[in-house]
């Protein structure tokens, strides 16, 4: 046993030791997961409320673990970020999403694909990666939307503006994810070359019975209208919530009400039945 003081002892307490082992095992697993192609993308549709068409689809990563089953991103994205593995996995996600968008386009559905971009990925190299992927898969840049959170762009405003402007020049669209939950300055919103705001689901869930959440959601939609940004409401689960956003002329809604994240082969029939070719 360790005997260098109480704190040390507590650190090596059995529970912590197990937790440490568990993390190490997970990290080793994650390194192998890429080689073994255990990551998969699910796709969640967004409905354009003015046309009643599915125009955008968000790519959400899952890990198909041999023992653990389908692991959700909340359980391994932080670890990918800590270990730096997010760059490699993030590139795989981007490429897989681009290929999928190209495949839909070839079937006559020019859907835009939204891909989440973590802080580590939001670097100079991202510009080259995106540029190369668009070329390699002959994808119309307008079919790619990158989602970044407020904290990512607010960390270094000048640098973020540089990256965002280059992406925009390529023709890629940009969305601010989880809008309203982070620290952001409204003044920067008009300076950043962004295309859309995603209202965080925390404002959407209790919409019908919480007037404060309704007021916030409505204010974000209005902000979008006046700054000429599209607004997407996420986490829409009920008809009442969908109607609320329809009434307030929100551009797009995403949530279980329209469809859960699902494999591409399950999404395709949904698109075929809903969209005009």
In contact, 123 and 158? CB cutoff 8 Å:
no
- 201: exposed, middle or buried (Cβ count in 10 Å: 0-12, 13-18, 19+): middle
Output the smallest distance, CB 39 to ligand C2E, in A: 9
Q: Give the number of residues in contact with Ca ion, rule: CB under 5 A.
A: 4
- 10: exposed, middle or buried (Cβ count in 10 Å: 0-12, 13-18, 19+): exposed
The answer to whether 145 contacts Ca ion (rule: CB under 5 A) is no
d(CA 140, CA 177): 22
Residues 167-226 that bind ligand C2E (CB under 6 A): 177-178, 201
The answer to whether 230 contacts Ca ion (rule: CB under 5 A) is no
Residue 237 β-bridge partners = none
Output the smallest distance, CB 209 to ligand C2E, in A: 16
Question: How is 133-202 classified by DSSP, letter by letter?
Answer: HHHHTT--GGGEEEEEEHHHHHSSHHHHHHHHHHHHHHT-EEEEEEETSS---HHHHHHS---EEEE-GG
- 89: exposed, middle or buried (Cβ count in 10 Å: 0-12, 13-18, 19+): buried
One residue of 29, 145, 150, 178 binding Ca ion per CB under 5 A:
178
Nearer to ligand C2E, 73 or 141 (CB): 73
Output the smallest distance, CB 11 to ligand C2E, in A: 30
Question: Which string of x and - marks every residue 42-61 that binds ligand C2E (by CB under 6 A)?
Answer: --x--------------xxx
The answer to whether 72 contacts ligand C2E (rule: CB under 6 A) is yes
One residue of 91, 96, 100, 116 binding Ca ion per CB under 5 A:
116
Output the smallest distance, CB 259 to ligand C2E, in A: 9
Report CA Rg, the chain.
20
Binding-site partner at residue 218 among ligand C2E, Ca ion, none, CB < 5 to 8 Å by type: none
Which parts of this chain interact with Ca ion (CB under 5 A)?
116, 147, 177-178
């Amino acid at each position: 046993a360790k005997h260098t003081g109480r704190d040390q002892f507590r650190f090596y307490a059995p529970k912590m030791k197990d937790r440490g082992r568990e993390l190490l095992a997970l990290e080793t697993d994650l390194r192998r997961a890429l080689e073994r192609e255990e990551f998969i993308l699910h796709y969640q549709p967004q409905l354009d409320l003015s046309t009643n068409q599915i125009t955008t689809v968000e790519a959400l990563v899952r890990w198909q673990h041999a023992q653990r089953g389908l692991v959700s991103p909340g359980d391994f994205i932080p670890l990918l970020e800590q270990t730096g593995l997010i760059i490699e996995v993030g590139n795989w996600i981007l490429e897989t999403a681009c290929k999928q968008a190209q495949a839909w386009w070839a079937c006559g559905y020019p859907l835009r694909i939204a891909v989440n971009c973590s802080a580590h990925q939001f670097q100079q190299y991202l510009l080259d990666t995106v540029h190369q992927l668009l070329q390699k898969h002959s994808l119309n840049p307008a079919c790619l939307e990158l989602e970044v959170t407020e904290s990512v762009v607010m960390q270094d405003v000048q640098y973020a503006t540089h990256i965002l402007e280059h992406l925009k020049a390529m023709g890629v669209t940009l969305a601010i994810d989880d809008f309203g939950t982070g620290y952001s300055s409204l003044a920067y919103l008009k300076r950043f070359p962004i295309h859309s705001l995603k209202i965080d689901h925390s404002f959407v869930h209790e919409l019908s019975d919480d007037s404060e959440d309704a007021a916030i959601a409505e204010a974000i939609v209005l902000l979008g209208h006046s700054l000429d940004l599209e607004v997407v409401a996420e986490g829409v689960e009920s008809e009442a919530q969908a109607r609320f956003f329809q009434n307030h002329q929100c551009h797009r809604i995403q949530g279980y009400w329209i469809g859960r994240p699902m494999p591409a082969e399950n999404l395709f029939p949904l698109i075929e039945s809903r969209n005009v070719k």
